[in-house]
């Protein structure tokens, strides 16, 4: 599918805006976990999202006929890894660990995305990119710990929560690369719909395997705070944010997009301060500023298409490789 690509600088800001909306998740997930499990929350979101995905895929089914095996493997990774497993791990992290730590650990996502972008997409990284990358990681560190040296996790629960968050970051980093591969082949609405539709069967199996108490789930959903919270999360941090994200991804390198995605934890930290009244020290404000300046500078960087970028087909991962990511 041939699309008119937007200027890279504009695409960066679409990605950053979409990622910033993900930061809304952390504020509302904790309250839902009082009534539903992490798998149930993500499954219910995808059930609602299917009402968007089905008509889109039906209307744009001609785009699906153009996809090859490698493309479908990328779709599978995005749906099962990025939309299903990563979302469950991220949500479960709030059960075990400190919500702020779980949220902020998403900033290590660039480490996974950059590695896969150079390995799979054969992206050539400009020298200035590494300066921005290092600056963004420094900002990420300051956002997490401020100006003091962090101590090791004091209990198993914190460690489990952190590992869940890191697992989610790895899967989302891989999804950035796979999404970049697909962005020029299908429209951003089709890509968003595929992500949700493919994830739903796996999430259904995961929920059924837990033998849920359907009566308790129904009772929870009858509560206005629960269903309104769930509806908001489905529409804003999930649907609208990903539409903006994939809209911007077509004209932007995956390695650049992953820095713009740091808007996610940066915004989450700000919302925790504004809504949950959690204090932010000077070091964290400095980190917040550094992250956003890195995104701003990245949007100004000249990102001409790399003619040496090899096609995904020539270096596509095998099914076993995708499953192990």
Mean pLDDT for the stretch of residues 285-313: 61
Contacts of 133 (CB under 8 A, 6+ apart): 110, 114, 259
Mean pLDDT for the stretch of residues 133-145: 75
pLDDT at 131 over 50: yes
Q: How many domains does the chain have?
A: 1
Backbone region of residue 195 per phi and psi (left: phi > 0; alpha: psi in -120 to 50; beta: other values): alpha
Q: Of residues 217 and 23, which shows the higher confidence score?
A: 217
| Residue 182: domain span | 8-324
- Name the percent of the chain lying above pLDDT 90: 34
Span 57-78, pLDDT tens digits: 999 999 999 999 999 999 999 9
Q: Of residues 133 and 248, which shows the higher confidence score?
A: 248
Q: Is residue 3 part of a domain?
A: no
pLDDT at 306 over 70: no
Q: Is residue 2 part of a domain?
A: no
176 band by pLDDT with thresholds 50, 70 and 90: confident
Q: Is residue 229 part of a domain?
A: yes
Q: Is residue 103 part of a domain?
A: yes
Mean pLDDT for the stretch of residues 137-148: 73
Q: Is residue 17 part of a domain?
A: yes
User: What does pTM read for this prediction?
Assistant: 0.74
pLDDT of residue 155: 55
Q: Which of 99-108, 184-193, 203-212, 285-294 has the lowest mean pLDDT?
A: 99-108
Residue 26: Cβ-neighbour burial (10 angstroms; 0-12, 13-18, 19+): buried
DSSP state, residue 258? H
pLDDT at 189 over 60: yes
pLDDT at 212 over 60: yes
Span 245-267, pLDDT tens digits: 888 887 788 778 877 877 776 77
pLDDT of residue 127: 72
């Amino acid at each position: 599918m041939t699309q008119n690509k937007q200027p890279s600088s504009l695409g960066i800001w679409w990605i950053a805006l979409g990622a910033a909306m993900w930061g809304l998740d952390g504020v509302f997930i904790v309250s839902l976990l009082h009534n539903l499990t992490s798998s149930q929350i993500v499954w219910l979101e995808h059930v609602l999202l299917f009402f968007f995905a089905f008509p889109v895929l039906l209307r744009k089914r001609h785009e699906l006929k153009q996809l090859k095996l490698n493309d479908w493997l990328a779709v599978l990774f995005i749906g099962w890894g990025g939309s299903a497993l990563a979302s469950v791990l991220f949500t479960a992290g709030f059960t075990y660990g400190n919500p702020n730590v779980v949220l902020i650990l998403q900033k290590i996502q660039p480490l996974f995305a950059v590695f896969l972008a150079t390995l799979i997409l054969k992206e050539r990284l400009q020298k200035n990119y590494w300066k921005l990358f290092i600056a963004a990681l420094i900002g990420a560190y300051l956002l997490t710990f401020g100006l003091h040296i962090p101590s090791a996790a004091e209990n198993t629960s914190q460690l489990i929560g952190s590992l869940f968050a890191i697992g989610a970051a790895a899967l989302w980093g891989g999804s950035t690369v796979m999404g970049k591969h697909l962005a020029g082949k299908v429209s951003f609405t089709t890509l968003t719909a595929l992500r949700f539709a493919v994830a739903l069967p796996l999430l259904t199996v995961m929920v059924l395997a837990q033998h849920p108490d359907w009566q308790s789930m129904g009772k929870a959903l009858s509560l206005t705070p629960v269903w309104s919270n769930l509806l908001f999360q489905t529409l804003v941090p999930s649907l609208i944010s990903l539409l903006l994200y994939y809209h911007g991804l077509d004209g932007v390198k995956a390695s650049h997009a992953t820095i713009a995605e740091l808007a996610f934890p940066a915004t989450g930290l700000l919302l925790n301060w504004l809504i949950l009244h959690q204090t932010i020290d000077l070091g964290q404000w400095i980190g917040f500023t550094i992250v956003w300046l890195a995104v701003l500078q990245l949007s100004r960087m000249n990102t001409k298409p790399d003619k040496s970028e090899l096609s995904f087909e020539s270096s596509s991962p095998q099914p076993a490789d995708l499953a192990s990511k």
